[in-house]
Every structure is written in C-alpha cells, then in structure tokens.
C-alpha cells in the first residue's frame, strides 16, 4: 500500500495547529521546562499515562494544572497521603436510607485529567486502586463497572530523594505509565524569570483554548501518522536488546540487566514516536523521533541486577548504551 506522504503531512499540519495555542497559554505561566511540556503533550496525544519524578519546587504540579487549564475539561488533583484509602480515589457504595438500597458514589478518578500528587506517599493497596482505571479505563464499585470519561489521563508525581514515609510503586503499576520523566532544574536565566514572574501582585493564568473533542480528534490523527517498517523494526531491535543484549553485540550489558522491557515498551515507543512526529507537524515517524522519546519510555522498564547496582549503574546509563549501539535505519 503506497502512502502519499505529502498529503499526510498537509493533513497532520492542519490537525496539529492547536498545539501552538496550548503552548502559548502554558508559557504564559510556566518558564522553560519545554521538555516536560512536550512530554505531557505526547502523553495526552498518545493516550498514555505519565510519571514525573523530580525534587520539590520544579513546577511539576503547576505545569500539569496549567495544561489542564488550556482544555475545557474536568481536572482532579488527588493528594496521596499515608492514610488515603482506595475508596477515596475510586468511590464507594453508600446506603440510601430513603430508597433502602446501596448506591455507588463515584470518586475523583472520574475526571478527564487526574493529578496523582506524590503518588509514592500511599501504600500499595491505594496505588493499585488506580491500576484498573489506568489500564482498562473503567472502575468497578461494588458489583457495578463504570466507564471513565474520554479523554482520560493519569499524571503522577513523585519525589526521588525523600524515602521516609514513602512506598515504592509496584513494578506492575510503573509499567502502566507510558512515560517516566526525569524533571531537572531550570537554567540561571529561566530561574531569574521565574522569580520575577512569580513575585508579581497578580500571578499569570492560562485560558482554555481547546475542547476534549479537539484532543480526541488529535489522538485519532496521531494513529494515522505513518511509520515505516524499517522504523518499526528499529523499535523492536531496541526493546529486544534490553532482553537479549548478547545477540546485539552488547556483551558488557548482559550481566547488568535482570529483566528487559516488556512488549508494552514496543507499543508505547511506537505510539509516543508518532505523537512526537505529530508535535513537529510531520505525518511520518523518523528514527530521531524514536531516539528522542526512547529514554522516557524505557527508563522505568529495565530491572537491574545487583551487580549493576553495586557499580552505581542506572537504567538511564544502560538505555543510552543500547540506543547508541543499535544501528539506525
């Protein structure tokens, strides 16, 4: 089947025009952090959940809230604490005295954009309450299953340096996040602008410029972005190299990886690469799209051996080695 790339490019350029509107509004509030803004947009367009990791004060929560302000949609922030219960997230059954029966009272997860703030501050049973919602986009309360609204996106934050009173996320849940972002400090000029902007009498705000229908139309357009079989094979080679590094000439990595990335990594890498191309208003995926997004898709899907941890090796180091080693088509 032949693909008319020129026509597809023109179509994607037209359908991605709203991205500039969102960027303009977000930049009215957020200084710098373009990497984080781009990745949040990729998650929104590829319909994938995102885990943001960074020290406090880097505007993770503010950026998520600002992005939600640009869309005429429902936003809920859930502050995770040690005493939070699963029912506080998904809802519970309430006895209706008037009608003498139990009825379901839905929780804050029934929104389009969910900010799970400091998700590692709650025990596993609370964290896992999000599992069904994240994977199936539905929630079961009592004996009734409720579909969640569309679009539906979970954006979770966690602090990597504080361990007291925190609970590491189960691997099964971490794997359900399409992207894991490592959010860093702003540069000096950006910090100067942040200080000036945030000490004004009136703080800047973002206006709603797109609708949920616009987002869902864009998600559909992202599916139409063309990915060549050579690029698809490139994605699979990268993922397989995390599982069988020796077969790809990565002998020095073989003893450092306990478990490689699952097939979910290949799926998410393809989807995220398409969204990355869409943001750049292209109708086709290049290997550079895959390389650009590869770290964020893979950093949380590789389990290291004790030998790797003893050598202070990180999953980022190994992902970089693998991506730089696999031949680009």
Q: What does the alpha-carbon distance between residue 149 and residue 74 come to, in Å, rounded to a whole number?
A: 9
Tokens of residue 148, six digits: 């969640």
Query: Torsions phi, psi of 256, nearest 5?
Result: -105, -15
1 vs 102, higher pLDDT: 102
| Domains 18-213 and 225-325 alike in fold | no
Does the pLDDT value for residue 186 go beyond 80? yes
Round to the nearest angstrom and report the end-to-end CA distance of the chain.
21
Does the pLDDT value for residue 1 go beyond 60? no
Radius of gyration of the chain (CA): 21
Q: What is the pLDDT of residues 44-64, one digit of tens each?
A: 899 899 998 887 777 788 888
* CB crowding 32-51: b at 16 or more within 10 Å, else e: bbeebbbbbbbbbbbbbbbb
List the chain domain ranges.
18-213, 225-325
Among 206, 209, 207, 231, CA closest to 282: 231
**Neighbour-count burial of 101, counting CB atoms closer than 10 A to its CB (0-12 exposed, 13-18 middle, 19+ buried):** exposed
Which pLDDT value is given to residue 54?
82
Which pLDDT value is given to residue 253?
84
Q: Report the alpha-carbon angle 89-95-98, nearest 5.
A: 135
The CA-atom distances, in angstroms, between 204 and each of 23, 35, 67, 198 are 14, 21, 13, 8
Q: Is 280 helix (H, G, I), strand (E, B) or coil?
A: coil
Average of pLDDT values for 213-234? Answer: 90
Which pLDDT value is given to residue 2?
61
The class level of CATH for 225-325 reads mainly alpha
Which pLDDT value is given to residue 229?
92
Looking at CATH, the fold of the domain delimited by 18-213 is given as Rossmann fold (3.40.50)
């Amino acid at each position: 089947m032949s693909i008319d790339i020129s026509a597809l490019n023109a179509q994607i350029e037209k359908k991605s025009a709203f991205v500039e509107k969102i960027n303009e509004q977000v930049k009215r509030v957020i200084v710098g952090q373009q990497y984080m803004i781009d990745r949040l947009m990729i998650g929104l367009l590829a319909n994938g959940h995102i885990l943001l990791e960074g020290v406090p004060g880097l505007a993770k929560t503010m950026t998520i809230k600002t992005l939600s302000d640009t869309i005429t949609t429902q936003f809920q922030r859930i502050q995770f604490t040690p005493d939070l219960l699963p029912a506080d997230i998904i809802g519970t059954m309430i006895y209706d005295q008037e009608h003498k029966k139990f009825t379901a009272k839905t929780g804050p997860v029934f929104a389009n954009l969910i900010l799970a703030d400091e998700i590692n501050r709650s025990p596993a049973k609370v964290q896992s309450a999000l599992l069904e919602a994240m994977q199936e986009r539905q929630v079961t309360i009592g004996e009734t299953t409720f579909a969640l609204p569309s679009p539906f996106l979970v954006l979770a934050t966690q602090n990597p340096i504080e361990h007291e009173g925190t609970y590491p996320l189960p691997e099964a849940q971490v794997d359900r996040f399409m992207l894991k972002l490592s959010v860093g400090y702003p540069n000096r000029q950006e910090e100067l602008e942040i200080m000036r902007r945030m000490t004004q009498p009136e703080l800047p705000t973002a206006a709603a410029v797109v609708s949920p229908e616009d987002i869902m139309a864009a998600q559909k357009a992202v599916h139409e972005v063309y990915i060549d079989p050579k690029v698809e094979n490139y994605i699979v080679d990268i993922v397989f190299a995390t599982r069988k590094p020796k077969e790809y000439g990565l002998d020095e990595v073989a003893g450092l990886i306990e478990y490689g990335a699952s097939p979910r990594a290949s799926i998410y890498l393809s989807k995220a690469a398409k969204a990355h191309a869409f943001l750049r208003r292209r109708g086709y995926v290049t290997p550079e799209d895959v390389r650009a997004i590869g770290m964020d898709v893979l950093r949380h899907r590789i389990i290291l051996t004790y030998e790797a941890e003893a050598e202070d090796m990180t999953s980022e180091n190994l992902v970089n080695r693998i991506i730089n080693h696999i031949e680009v088509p």
